[in-house]
Structure 1
Amino acid sequence: MSIAFLARLARCSSGPHVGRNGLPQMALAPLPLKQDIALYSAIPKRQIHTPSDKRRSGTRFDADSSGRPTTWDSFGIWDNRIDEPILLPSSIRYGKPIPKVSLSNVGCASLIGQRKENEDRFQLSQMTDNIIYFAVFDGHGGPEAADFCHKYLENFIKDLVAGEDNLELVLTRAFLEVDKALAKHLQCSSDAPGVNAGTTATVALLRDGIELVVASVGDSRAMLCRKGKALKLTVDHTPERRDEKERIKRSGGFITWNSLGQSNVNGRLAMTRSIGDFDLKGVGVIAEPETKRIVLSPVHDSFLALTTDGVNFIMNSQEICNVINQCHDPKEAAQRISEQALQYGSEDNSTIVVVPFGAWGKHTNSDTSFSFSRSFVSSGRWA
C-alpha cells in the first residue's frame, strides 16, 4: 500500500484514526502510480443485481454486505483476530498501514506462587498521545523498591520525553533518576526496609504504534514474537555474564556460588544490575539499563511479552511464544502462561504482560516440544 493511497484515505477521513469499518465506502478513482493502479484494478466492480439477489458491496471493505469488515489478511497484509483501528498519521508517515494498540486488549497476569507475598508489579498506560508505556518490576528484599518504581518511574519518563526525542536516552536517564530518588526515599523514611531493598525493571515504550524501545536491569525479560519465533530483546544481568562479572570485580566485589549452583554478587544478590540494592552499589551493581530499539513489522510481529523470572526460570522464550500463539486473545495468553509456570514447578511470583501487534493470530505454530529437563529449584536472588 503506497503513501499516495494512504494520503487519499487521510483526505477522505474526518478524524485522526480510521477504523476498519470507517474507511470510506466509495469507489476510488485511478491513481497515477503503477502500484496504486494495480490496487485499484483489484477492487471488485459493482455488479447488476435483482431484488432477489444478494447485494454485493462496491468496495473491498465489506465485500459480502454482511456489515463486517474484511479481515486484513484479504489484502495479503495480516490476519488479526483483534479488531483494531488504523493509526492514520503513523501509516502515512511510514508508508504502510499500522494498527493501533488498545490497552483494553493487552493481557496481564500476576500470581503469587509459593511465596508469602507477591513482590512483582506491572503497569501499562497511555503515557502521551503517541507513546504507550509497559513495565514489569520484580522486587526483592520486600516490595518497596518495586512499589516505588511502579509509582514514579513513568513520571520520570514523561518529564524527559518532553525535551528529548531519543527514547533510549530517555529510558536510561529515567532509570538512573528513579534509582537516586529511591535512595533518598529510603534514607528519609523511618519505616523503610533498608539498603538491601531492590527491584528489576523491564520497560517498553511504543511510539506511533511502530517504534518499540526497551530498557532493562536485572533478570526480567522482554521478548518479541516475529514470524512465530521468539526474538529476545533483553539479556539477563547475572554474574555468569563475563562483562558483568568483570565490572563487579573491577569495582571490588566478588562472586560466590550457593549450594544450588546460583552465582551471587558478594554472596547476596543474583543479579548485577538493579534499581535499589544500595549496599552493593559500591561494588559494581548499577542501575544503568541496557536498551534496544526496533521498528515493528505489522505483517510479521504478533506480540510483545514482558515477564519476570518466575516465568523465565521455568519456561524458555520459544516455549512462551508457542503457548501464547495458541491462545485466542492476550488476556487468555497471560493467564495461561502465569498458571503454566506454576504447574511446571516455579515457586516464585510469576508475572507477564502480553501486548498484541498487527500479526496477532497469524502464526499459530503447533509446536509443543517443551523441555522436560526443567529445573524445579525455586528461583531466587538470595544465597
Structure 2
Amino acid sequence: MSVALLMRYATLSGSRVCCKAALGITGIHQEDTRRALHTPSSPRCSNTRFDPDSSGHPTTWDSFGIWDNRIDEPILLPSSIRYGKPIPKVSLSKVGCASQIGQRKVNEDHYQLSRMTDNIIYFAVFDGHGGAEAAEFCHKNMEKHIKDIAEEEDNLELVLTKAFLEVDKALARHLHFSADASLLSAGTTATVALLRDGIELVVGSVGDSRAMLCRKGKALKLTVDHTPERKDEKERIRKTGGFITWNSFGQPHVNGRLAMTRSIGDFDLKTSGVIAEPETKRISLHHVHDSFLALTTDGINFIMNSQEICDIINQCNDPKEAAQRISEQVSHIIQHPLFFLVYVLIINFRNIKGSMMANFTPDI
C-alpha cells in the first residue's frame, strides 16, 4: 500500500543557456552589427544578460548572483520576467523511475505526473487500502477536477481543497451503484503537488503520505500525517462519535480499523470523523537552495525519516540510481518476506547527484 513519487527539478550543473534564448534577446541583426563595429583595441559590451561581455560564452548562474555553474536547462522567460529572477524549466522528460511489487498480487497504489496546463505541472501519489477502487478513482479523476476548478479559481490552495472534496463525493456516487458493500471500506491517501510558473509550489494531502522538499541539504516537511496521534485529529474523531484503539505495535486506529484520520473514501467511517478535506501548504521555491521534492507513502516513512531519504538521494549519481537505492535499502532492512510495492519517479532539479520519490508499505 505504498507509492512514492520524487521530483528533482531542472538540473543546473555544468550547463549552458540555449543559444536561441540568447539570440531571442539580442536579435541577430544587432549582434552582427556589434561584431562589425568591434576592434581588438576597443572594449566589447553587450545589452544582453546572457552574454554580458560579448565573449560568445554563455553566462553562468553566478553571473546572476546565484550559482557558480552553467545552466543546463532553458529558463522560463515569462516566469523569469514576472518574478525578476531566472527560473529553470521543469522537464517531465527527465524522470527516473523504479518499482518493486514484491509478493503482492494486487496494486492498490498509483502515482501520476503531467503538464496539466501551460504553466502548471501536476504530481500526485495515492496509497490505497481496503481495495484498489479509491486509489484508481483518484488516479483517473483527480487531475480533471483540479484542472476544471483552476480555470475559475486562481488560489491553488483553494483549488486543491475543492478538488479533494469533489472527488470524494464523486467516488461516493460511483460506489453507490455497486452491490458490493465491502467497497465502503475502500479508501486512499492523496498527496498532490502543483508547481506553477516553475516557482510556486502548492501541496495538499490527506492521510499519511508525505511531501518533503530538500533545501540546503536538509529535509523540509511540507505535510503532517493525519493520524489519531495528533491531538486535534483525535478530538475531532471523538467529538464525531468515533473511538481510538491501539494495535499490538502501539499504532492508533480509528474504530479499530483505519490508521489515518483523513482519507478519500472510507465511507463507513465518515460518521466517525474521517474526512476528505486536505491540509494545504504554499511555498516559493528558491532555486539556489532547493534540490528536489519527494512524495513518499508510509512504507518508506515507516523505515526511514525524511533526512535519511535526502542523504541517500544525495549520494547517488542519477535519479534512477537513487530510486533503486532507496527501494533496495528498505527491502534489506525488512528481512522476512513481506508484500510491498515501490514506485520511484525523479525529475532533475539542481546540481546534486540524485533525487527520488519512493514508496514501500509492508503488510505485517
TM-score (norm 1): 0.76
2:19 is the counterpart of 1:21: yes
Q: CA deviation at 1:305?
A: 0.6
Q: CA deviation at 1:341?
A: 2.0
* Aligned CA distance change for structure 1 residues 165 and 278 (closer, same or farther; 3 Å): same
Q: CA deviation at 1:351?
A: 3.1
Residue type of the alignment partner of 1:250: K
| Identical counterparts, % of pairs | 72
* Aligned CA distance change for structure 1 residues 79 and 259 (closer, same or farther; 3 Å): farther
2:342 is the counterpart of 1:350: yes
2:302 is the counterpart of 1:318: no
Conservation of the 8 A alpha-carbon contact between 2:297 and 2:361: no
Aligned pairs, number:
323
Map of 1:1-383 to 2, 5 A cutoff? 19-24=17-22, 59=51, 72=61, 76-78=65-67, 83-190=72-179, 193-345=182-334, 347=338, 348-357=340-349, 360-362=350-352, 379=362
Conservation of the 8 A alpha-carbon contact between 2:113 and 2:123: yes
Q: CA deviation at 1:207?
A: 0.2
Q: CA deviation at 1:345?
A: 1.7
Q: Distance in 2 between matches of 1:162 and 1:258?
A: 45
Q: Distance in 1 between matches of 2:318 and 2:74?
A: 17
* Aligned CA distance change for structure 1 residues 214 and 378 (closer, same or farther; 3 Å): closer
Q: Distance in 2 between matches of 1:194 and 1:164?
A: 33
SS at match of 2:276: coil
* Aligned CA distance change for structure 1 residues 344 and 60 (closer, same or farther; 3 Å): farther
* Aligned CA distance change for structure 1 residues 81 and 153 (closer, same or farther; 3 Å): farther
Residue type of the alignment partner of 1:21: C
Q: Which moved more, 1:305-314 or 1:112-121?
A: 112-121
- Structure 2: gaps spanning 5 or more residues: 1-15, 27-37, 42-49
Residue type of the alignment partner of 1:356: N
Q: CA deviation at 1:314?
A: 0.6
Q: CA deviation at 1:343?
A: 2.2
Q: Alpha-carbon deviations, 1:329-368, whole Å to 9, x = none?
A: 33332232233222222843233443433xx125899xxx
Q: CA deviation at 1:229?
A: 0.5
- Structure 1: gaps spanning 5 or more residues: 1-17, 29-45, 50-57, 366-376
* Aligned CA distance change for structure 1 residues 249 and 176 (closer, same or farther; 3 Å): same
SS at match of 1:86: coil
SS at match of 1:164: coil
Conservation of the 8 A alpha-carbon contact between 2:17 and 2:70: no
TM-score (norm 2): 0.80
Q: Alpha-carbon deviations, 1:165-201, whole Å to 9, x = none?
A: 0000000000000001111111113468510000000
SS at match of 2:93: helix
Q: Distance in 2 between matches of 1:198 and 1:167?
A: 24
Residue type of the alignment partner of 1:351: Y
Q: Alpha-carbon deviations, 1:266-296, whole Å to 9, x = none?
A: 0000000000000001000000000000010
Q: CA deviation at 1:311?
A: 1.0
SS at match of 2:145: helix
Q: Distance in 1 between matches of 2:361 and 2:137?
A: 26
Conservation of the 8 A alpha-carbon contact between 1:342 and 1:350: no
Residue type of the alignment partner of 2:297: T
Conservation of the 8 A alpha-carbon contact between 2:262 and 2:275: yes
Conservation of the 8 A alpha-carbon contact between 1:308 and 1:351: no
Q: CA deviation at 1:230?
A: 0.4
**CA-based RMSD:** 3.1
Q: Alpha-carbon deviations, 1:132-178, whole Å to 9, x = none?
A: 00000000011111110000000000000000000000000000000
Q: CA deviation at 1:70?
A: 5.8
Q: Distance in 2 between matches of 1:19 and 1:162?
A: 33
Q: Distance in 1 between matches of 2:346 and 2:71?
A: 13
Q: Distance in 2 between matches of 1:319 and 1:62?
A: 45
Residue type of the alignment partner of 2:95: V
Conservation of the 8 A alpha-carbon contact between 1:136 and 1:201: yes
Q: Alpha-carbon deviations, 1:46-81, whole Å to 9, x = none?
A: 9959xxxxxxxx94699686xxx5653565523679
Conservation of the 8 A alpha-carbon contact between 2:245 and 2:252: yes
Q: Distance in 1 between matches of 2:150 and 2:276?
A: 19
Q: CA deviation at 1:310?
A: 1.4
Conservation of the 8 A alpha-carbon contact between 1:205 and 1:213: yes
Conservation of the 8 A alpha-carbon contact between 1:307 and 1:351: no
* Aligned CA distance change for structure 1 residues 281 and 95 (closer, same or farther; 3 Å): same
Q: CA deviation at 1:119?
A: 1.6
